[in-house]
Every structure is written in C-alpha cells, then in structure tokens.
C-alpha cells in the first residue's frame, strides 16, 4: 500500500495571499500600486513602513473596510484559505476568520470590559463564555477589571481589550495595526509577548508596526512598504541584518550605534532599494 504523502511546507498555499493589489480612494488617489504578500498559516508576518506608506490601506483591503473610506480595489486579488475575498463585505470576511484590530485601540469607551468582549463575541454566540475565559486567561488584567468602564483603562489595557475583543470571534488570522503605538516600553514588551502567545495558540498574525525591532524580533518573515509598493521582502532575521533596514527602521549606524535624532533627521542618502 502506498504511503500517504504530506505536502512539503513550501508547497502549501499561504492562508492569506495578496496578489498585485491596487487600491484607489475617491476614484483618483492611487495608494496601493501592485502589492503582493503572503501570510502562511500559523506564522507571524511583519509589515513595516513609514507613515503614509499604505499599510493601513492594505489592512482595510484585507478586512473589507475600504468602502467605509471611499476606497476600492481596482486591480489584483486577495485570497483567504484559497477563496477570493477582495470583493466581499466586512461581515462576510470576518465570518471566514479574518479579524482586524484597528490602529488607535477602538474600544467602546462607555461599555465595561466584559460588554466590549461580548460585542466581539457576537460572531460566535455559542462560545462566548469559553472565549471570554480564554481571553481572561491571556489578559488577566482584563479579568480583574471586567466590570470597569473601558474608557478608564490605561492605554496598554485598552490595547489588550481591543485584541481580546478580536479574539472573541475565534479568528484564524489576526490583523494588528500598530499595537505598540504610543505605549511605554514595558507595556510594548507585554504586548509583544501576548502576540507571541496568541500565535502559539494557533492564530496566524499579520503585524503592521513602526516598531520594527519588536515586529522583526517575533515574526518569521517581513515586508517593507514604501509609497504603496513592497520594496523588500525577506525572512525577518535577514531584515534585522540589512543595512538599510537597520539605518532607516531601527535607527542604527553601521556599527550598531544608535543614531542621534539630528543624524536621522538630516540623513539624505537615498535608500538602496529605491535606487
Ligand atoms: P500611517 O501609519 O500614517 O497610518 P500607513 O502606512 O498606514 O500610514 P495609510 O493610512 O494606508 O498609510 O495611507 C496611505 C496614503 O493613503 C496616505 O497618503 C493617506 O493620506 C492616503 N489615505 C488614507 N486614507 C484615505 C482616504 N480615506 N481617502 C483618501 N486618501 C487616503
């Protein structure tokens, strides 16, 4: 009897696959210009880029939120688990297992922690209790504050609540938009550990970050986006060693010395990937 062959990992198609995607806002503002990116199941993939590069726009395209912002996919495709999703409404995409945690910790400030989590759990109503226990297990501080009004939580706790609310829908793929933004280094460390833990429990993660050091430390693969295009795409370990990434995203000089703000501000050399 012939033995059953398992496909080699490299042959498996990625859970999330973006191909040559173009996005336009208001019919004229061309923001994504042929973006391709893969997120394999079970991995953390990082997407780096300066302000205005188009990272949030890409996430909106993945979760179906472009419409709300008068944006539209004009070319290319997004496939999730082998199915095209780029023309589906956000509710349908969410029910398939893609969940975005928006930049800026959008929680319902007037509701309690527990009520926020219940809102997140409406997609999987039968599992609300189990999922809430799981979220409280991951974020014990939320369990302690379960009856507190969310608007009174600290920035780090609000970020945890936003992530916890997304996890209530049992996503297969979590899209995180700048989870470390504006948080103190110690809290960033906690968020980083939580992302690793969420991933270890089986959730695939696409992590958009300006904190390149954090994102590359925990991801397997990284993409760098500039002006609506992917300009670099490598295993995260290699990106951490790349001299341009070190200079422009990690603020490090050739010998690993931290550059002063003045040096970075006045730095004029063209990035090699643009030359
Ligand atoms: P940031 O970290 O600053 O959010 P980003 O890489 O996420 O940057 P986007 O927010 O995707 O970038 O913005 C990319 C470009 O698209 C910017 O030039 C921005 O002004 C433009 N843009 C974003 N949203 C809209 C919109 N609703 N209508 C028109 N232009 C938009």
DSSP string, 150-170: GGGS-HHHHHHHHHHHHHTT-
Cβ partners under 8 Å of residue 9, min gap 6: none
pTM of the full structure: 0.87
Atom of ligand 1 nearest to the CA of 103: 4
Mean pLDDT, each 10-residue run in order, the chain (275 residues): 44 88 95 97 95 94 94 96 94 93 85 94 84 92 95 92 92 94 89 93 94 94 95 95 85 58 50 56
13-97+171-236 is classed CATH 3.40.50.300: yes
Nearest CA to ligand 1 atom 20: 52
Closest-CA residue, ligand 1 atom 16, reads 31
Q: Is 54 in the pocket of ligand 1 (CB under 6 A)?
A: yes
DSSP letters for 33-101? EEEEEEE-TT-EEEEEE-TTSSHHHHHHHHHT-TGGGTEEEEEEEEEETTEE-TTS-HHHHHHHTEEEE
**In the prediction, which pLDDT does 263 show?**
52
Sign of CA dihedral 37, 43, 210, 29: positive
Q: Which residue CA neighbors atom 1 of ligand 1 most closely?
A: 51
| pLDDT (0 to 100) of residue 11 | 52
Among 83, 53, 77, smallest CA distance to 173 is for 83
CB of 228 shorter than 6 A to ligand 1: no
Cβ–ligand 1 contact at 29 (below 6 Å): yes
- Which part of the chain has CATH 3.40.50.300? 13-97+171-236
Please work out whether the CB of residue 51 comes within 6 Å of at least one atom of ligand 1.
yes
The sheet that has 221-226: what strands, in order across it?
A: 98-101, 173-177, 204-209, 44-49, 221-226, 229-235
At residue 160, φ and ψ (nearest 5 deg) are -65, -40
* CA-closest residue to ligand 1 atom 18: 52
Tell me which DSSP letter residue 270 carries: P
pLDDT given at position 243: 85
Residue 123 DSSP label: G
Q: Evaluate: CB of 113 within 6 angstroms of ligand 1.
A: no
Please identify, by atom number, the ligand 1 atom nearest to the C-alpha of residue 49.
6
Mutate to test the pocket of ligand 1, among 22, 35, 55 (most ligand atoms within 8 A of CB): 55
Length of the chain, please? 275
């Amino acid at each position: 009897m012939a033995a059953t062959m398992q496909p080699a990992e490299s042959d498996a198609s990625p859970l999330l696959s973006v191909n040559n995607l173009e996005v336009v806002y208001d019919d004229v503002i061309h923001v994504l210009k042929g973006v391709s990116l893969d997120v394999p199941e079970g991995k953390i993939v990082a997407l780096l880029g300066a302000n205005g590069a188009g990272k949030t726009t890409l996430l909106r395209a993945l979760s179906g939120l472009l419409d709300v912002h008068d944006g539209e996919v004009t070319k290319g495709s997004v496939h999730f688990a082998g199915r095209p999703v780029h023309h589906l409404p956000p509710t349908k995409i969410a029910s398939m297992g893609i969940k975005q945690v928006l930049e800026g910790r959008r929680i319902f400030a007037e509701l309690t922690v527990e009520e926020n989590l219940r809102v997140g759990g409406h997609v999987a109503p039968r599992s609300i209790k189990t999922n809430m226990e799981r979220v409280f297990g991951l974020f014990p501080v939320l369990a302690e504050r379960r009856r507190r009004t969310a608007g009174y939580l600290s920035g780090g706790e609000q970020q945890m609540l936003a992530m916890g609310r997304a996890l209530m829908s049992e996503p297969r793929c979590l899209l995180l938009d700048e989870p470390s933004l504006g948080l103190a280094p110690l809290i960033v460390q906690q968020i980083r550990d939580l992302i690793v833990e969420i991933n270890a429990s089986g959730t695939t993660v696409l992590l958009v970050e300006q904190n390149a050091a954090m994102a590359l430390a925990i991801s397997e693969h990284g993409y760098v986006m500039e002006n609506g295009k992917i300009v670099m795409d490598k295993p995260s370990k290699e990106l951490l060693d790349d001299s341009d990434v070190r200079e422009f995203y990690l603020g490090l000089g050739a010998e690993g010395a931290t550059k002063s703000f003045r040096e970075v501000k006045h730095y004029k050399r063209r990035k090699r990937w643009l030359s």
